[in-house]
Structure 1
């Protein structure tokens, strides 16, 4: 099944990929939160409202990237031959 926690321990390659993608997920999450915080602070001044809006837009894109990161990881697992989990979820 997609997003199965068992995938991370199937092989050394799976473990390495899982670690890289978890790092990417965490960095994306942190950056999105930092941009939202900075945007919120910039909204206190009318002079920086335009910049704040852009920070919110970029933060929103990063929050949208989060599920994409997990989907890409699962697609890579499928390319590695992990069809069992996907086949189970389609039954």
Structure 2
């Protein structure tokens, strides 16, 4: 098995559920990052909110940085699930 293969998430009902849960987390982080950048951009219109805008951009950047981490963790999780399936098959026969 390899990382980032469609077959990893389509293996069984449990792998589809795990993939969907991680995809929801990814989408929430993506939405949060976009929201932070939008709010930060709007706040830059007023000088008194410049510090808050910088913080929104910083948080948005951290969220964007988390996105590939979520994808990698999801794929490692699915890959580990496949190892259990392979082990069970080897023990049976």
What does 1:28-67 correspond to in 2, within 5 Å?
A: 28-67=29-68
**Does the 8 Å contact 2:34/2:60 carry over to 1?**
yes
- Structure 1: gaps of 5 or more residues: 85-91
What is the count of residue pairs matched by the alignment?
A: 83
TM-score (normalizing by structure 1): 0.85
Aligned-residue RMSD, C-alpha: 1.4
Larger Rg: 2
When the two structures are superposed, what TM-score results if normalisation uses the length of structure 2? 0.83
